[in-house]
Structure 1
Amino acid sequence: MKLPADFLKRMKELMNEKEHEEFVLSFDMPRYYGLRVNTLKIDVEQFLHISPFRLERVPWSRDGFYYDEGENPGKHPYYHAGLYYIQEPSAMFPAEVLDARPGECVLDLCAAPGGKTVQIAAGMKGEGLLVANDSNPGRIKALVKNIELCGVRNAIVTNETPGRLAARLPGYFDKILVDAPCSGEGMFRKDESAIRSWERYKNKDFSIVQEEILEAAGKMLKPGGRIVYSTCTFSPDENEAVISSFLGRYEDYELIDIPLPEGAERGRPGWAGGAGKAVKDERMKKCVRFWPHKARGEGHFIALLRKKEPGDGLEKDGETAPGFALNLGRKQGNYHASAGKTKEDFLEAFNEFAGENLDMEIRGYLLLTWDNLYWLPVELPDLDGVKVARLGWHLGRFKKSSPGRTSKTGNVDNMLKHMFEPSHAMVMALKKENLKRVMDFPAGSVEIIKYLKGETLLVEGEKGFIGVCVDGRTVGWAKQTGKEMKNLYPPAWRFIPSGKDVFNKFNEN
């Protein structure tokens, strides 16, 4: 692999001759491939029992596994069911260090495309509040898709700058992940386009942006809370120097020692001033670095910060709300109900759908934005003025039916009635036992491949919405209309086989 000359020169100045030689040679070695089991959809042991892949555990991840380069897990029906997320192995460690728990209030500040977000969500088990933010509008679509694919219920997606978010939610979060935008040197071996990007932006000082993001995160953290700062670059200026500078400016923060995972190394105290600067900070030994010539993964840096003075007596966030509420009474940012309709109209339509199709009790908050219905396990924070892309678990939308139906009194009702249409995100977060009507296909069946390709299935059954499953895990909706099932799998998500070999491989498992 041809590496940038300026990059090689800088790393040679930072390393001794032997280490530099090993480091450079590692870029010509095969990269590692990983997937993380999505425990929101399936337990690890259950997945290992049905997995068609040869897997080996990633030592620093509870749910992570290496798979062979020749495998193609992104083309398997289990991927479309959200049973796992394809993720570079070293990228699994920051969320492990954050260790999000059920009931906490957690922020993923630079979240797109969402791999670490869904890992955080798995730790929270649907309880508490997860805010997934990214300031880049072009990356929000991928973030939302991955959240929906993995069946995450308790996440709000925002599209704000860290500074604006900090102004709205000061001291709000128990834990924050800052997976900061960086020069991306740690991804050179994984993706050669990262080299071209580095050449293009090599004169950009990423550390300025990183320090601003970390400062904003600090403002949003509760006393006693924790921040994980991570990058996928080797540059001291973007790692040890950023952390040392932050600790120098904010005395109410301390660095927490991270247990060293297999193959990783400690942060380097002599790099605390950045490349070429003789500044030493022994606290940097508490950080962790992944090197491609040391660990079975790519390049990463991770630091764990704690805000001192735990807040005794602070009001606890993240408690599950009792009962059932359609929260339309208060203004939430730019969210409004349709004109001329009361909350009872929408609640009636949703309850009608739920009674006919669901076998579960819904407890929490229902929130309406225009004609879209969302759910959260906790009350929505004040997001007035914040750009929100997804207001929790998207249950579906209300559509107006045709006028002219006969009312209970026998008169023709010319008023439009709202009918509830469930979303793909809704079914992806449901279990098979939550649905009254289910069509369950094996992973190697012709039917599941046809369904994922968007084809109509000729299957008789009771009319209504049907949850389509693959080996007992939900993958989408269909609507039974008689002797056929109307395929409701989203067109943008449809499975496109790369050839006959892919389909044959499914049937071999």
Structure 2
Amino acid sequence: MRLPELFENKMREILSDEFDDYLKSYNYKRMYGLRVNTNKISTQEFEKICPFKIDKIPWIPNGYYYDGSKEHPAKHPYYYAGLYYLQEPSAMTPASRLEINPGDVVLDMCAAPGGKATELGSKLKGEGLLVANDISNSRAKALLKNIELFGISNVFVVNETPDKLLNYYEEYFDKILIDAPCSGEGMFRKDPAIISSWEKNGPEFYAKIQRDIIVQAAKMLKPGGLMLYSTCTFSPVENEGTIQFLLDAYKDFELREIEGFEGFSKGRPELVNGSEELTKTVRIWPHKMEAEGHFLALLHKKGEKTSDITTDESYQITKTESDILEAFLKNVHMDMERKYIDIKGERVFYVSKYMKNLKGVRFLRSGLLLGEIKKNRFEPSQALALALREEEFDFTINFSVEDNRVIKYLKGETLDVSDIVEKGESGWQLICVDHFPLGWGKLNNGILKNKYSSSWRWQ
């Protein structure tokens, strides 16, 4: 691989005697990872049913390596059931090192395509609120799909600039994660195409963006809250330099130690003429760990933690009741307070009690989309199916993963299920694989009309 001379010289200066070992890492095989959705299945249960060879990632509690040259986990029904997310191992680290408790109100500032947001949402266990934001509309659409695939219901998916969010969310969040846009030096091995982008827009270009973002986020964090900043670059100006910038500008912030691992390297304050506190930051090197490159800093905002947020009554629930909707919901047994059902035209949402009045904010989803009311019927959404557990809906059809009808279902085909349903049974069915929901179907005389979302289908 041809590395830019300027980059090589900088890395030689940073790494000194380790530089040759770092260069050798470009000859190592790329590491592939998956992260288990512990809101749907425990790691112990996943290990029992996992259909391909996996090895534990030692510093990620729910992370595993797999052989990307042999295994294709994105082409398995368990992926479509939201049991895991495919993610590079070092990229799993930021969300694993930000402590999230059920009931927290959490912001993922630069969330697309969802690798970190899905882990944050999974940790919330359906309580509190996850605000997942990305400035790019196209990337935010991919983010929304991954969040819905993971079954995360207490979510607000936003497509805004940080300064716009600050107008609504000053000192609002218990936890914030910033996986900042960066020059991507840590991903050169994984994706050599990033090198040309680095040559066009180097570290100084991104450092300015990062400092704008981290300052806006700092103002949105509650006193007593935690903020984790991460990049996938080695550049000191983007890493230690950005953190020192925040510490100098906002004296109410301090660094916290990050839960360690033997392969982690301490931050280097001398590279930016920074304070000794910067040794509490962490850098992941590919010649020291089986992963690509990453940087992390955990920040605490001093001060008394403010009281828990209560419902903002200025959020306007349009309508909460519909006879057609109620006829369907009588078969749903997930924990749901009816006063937070929001009917807007044909579409029905279940919103978090922490939602604010956000008139003027661009967003893709405010809460869990339950479905749509169409003429005389209610059609449940794909998102609702993935948010449910099998036992939370009265009528289910469960296929074994070996049943070839699972793939046919995921491809959108009509199915004959007369061998596994009672004669005369009809209506909406929650379709599962090994008891994990996949989507909906409508049953009539032993034939299942496929209602799996066309945009999610197996290709």
TM category (shorter chain) comes to over 0.9
Work out whether residues 314 and 357 of structure 2, in 8 Å CA contact, stay in contact via their aligned partners in 1: no
Matches of 1:260 and 1:207, distance apart in 2: 26
Any stretches of 5+ residues in structure 1 without a counterpart?
274-278, 322-326, 338-342, 402-418, 497-509
Which residue of the partner structure matches residue 386 of structure 2? 428
Any stretches of 5+ residues in structure 2 without a counterpart?
none
Work out whether residues 183 and 203 of structure 2, in 8 Å CA contact, stay in contact via their aligned partners in 1: no
| Deviations, residues 190-209 of structure 1 (Å, cap 9, x unaligned) | 22222232233237610111
**Aligned match for 1:308, one of 293, 302, 318:** 302
| Structure 1 moving runs of 4+ over 3 Å | 329-332
Given the alignment of the two structures, is residue 40 of structure 1 paired with residue 43 of structure 2, yes or no? Answer: no
1:173-184 superposed matches below 5 A: 173-184=173-184
Work out whether residues 315 and 356 of structure 2, in 8 Å CA contact, stay in contact via their aligned partners in 1: no
Which residue of the partner structure matches residue 401 of structure 2? 443
| Deviations, residues 352-380 of structure 1 (Å, cap 9, x unaligned) | 1112x424452362123332211134242
Report deviation, 1:227: 0.5
Matches of 2:205 and 2:238, distance apart in 1: 9
Matches of 2:125 and 2:141, distance apart in 1: 23
**Aligned match for 2:365, one of 374, 379, 390:** 390
**SS class of match (2:304):** coil
Work out whether residues 262 and 295 of structure 1, in 8 Å CA contact, stay in contact via their aligned partners in 2: no
Which moves more between the two structures, 457-466 or 89-98? 457-466
Matches of 1:162 and 1:117, distance apart in 2: 17
Q: Which residue identity does 2:433 align to in structure 1?
A: V
Report deviation, 1:300: 0.4
| Deviations, residues 417-450 of structure 1 (Å, cap 9, x unaligned) | xx32110000001011111111111112211011
**SS class of match (2:353):** coil
Matches of 2:4 and 2:436, distance apart in 1: 46
Which residue of the partner structure matches residue 254 of structure 2? 254
Q: Which residue identity does 1:486 align to in structure 2?
A: K
**SS class of match (1:99):** coil
**SS class of match (2:116):** helix
Report deviation, 1:174: 0.5
Which moves more between the two structures, 425-434 or 186-195? 186-195
Q: Which residue identity does 2:399 align to in structure 1?
A: F
Report deviation, 1:150: 0.5
Work out whether residues 430 and 441 of structure 2, in 8 Å CA contact, stay in contact via their aligned partners in 1: yes
Report deviation, 1:11: 1.4
Which moves more between the two structures, 479-488 or 73-82? 479-488
**SS class of match (1:27):** helix
Given the alignment of the two structures, is residue 166 of structure 1 paired with residue 166 of structure 2, yes or no? Answer: yes
Matches of 2:263 and 2:399, distance apart in 1: 41
TM-score by length of 1: 0.85
| Deviations, residues 268-320 of structure 1 (Å, cap 9, x unaligned) | 1112x2xxxxx142111100110000111110000011111123xx33127xx
Given the alignment of the two structures, is residue 102 of structure 1 paired with residue 102 of structure 2, yes or no? Answer: yes
RMSD of the alignment, in Å? 1.8
Work out whether residues 103 and 317 of structure 1, in 8 Å CA contact, stay in contact via their aligned partners in 2: no
Which residue of the partner structure matches residue 291 of structure 1? 285
Matches of 2:91 and 2:409, distance apart in 1: 32
Matches of 2:34 and 2:262, distance apart in 1: 18
Given the alignment of the two structures, is residue 363 of structure 1 paired with residue 326 of structure 2, yes or no? Answer: no
Work out whether residues 59 and 262 of structure 1, in 8 Å CA contact, stay in contact via their aligned partners in 2: no
Which residue of the partner structure matches residue 438 of structure 2? 475
Which moves more between the two structures, 218-227 or 197-206? 197-206
Given the alignment of the two structures, is residue 317 of structure 1 paired with residue 309 of structure 2, yes or no? Answer: yes
**SS class of match (2:237):** helix
Which residue of the partner structure matches residue 25 of structure 2? 26
Matches of 1:67 and 1:229, distance apart in 2: 27
Percentage identity across aligned positions?
46
Structure having the higher Rg: 1
**Aligned match for 2:353, one of 373, 378, 384:** 378
Matches of 2:59 and 2:177, distance apart in 1: 17
Work out whether residues 182 and 231 of structure 2, in 8 Å CA contact, stay in contact via their aligned partners in 1: yes
Matches of 1:130 and 1:368, distance apart in 2: 21
Q: Which residue identity does 2:9 align to in structure 1?
A: K
| Deviations, residues 62-105 of structure 1 (Å, cap 9, x unaligned) | 11111123211111110000000011111111111111110111
| Deviations, residues 307-349 of structure 1 (Å, cap 9, x unaligned) | 11123xx33127xx8xxxxx9x9555xxx85xxxxx36x4322
**SS class of match (1:477):** strand
| Deviations, residues 226-274 of structure 1 (Å, cap 9, x unaligned) | 1100000111110000001110111111111113223111111112x2x
Report deviation, 1:224: 0.5
Matches of 1:452 and 1:195, distance apart in 2: 38
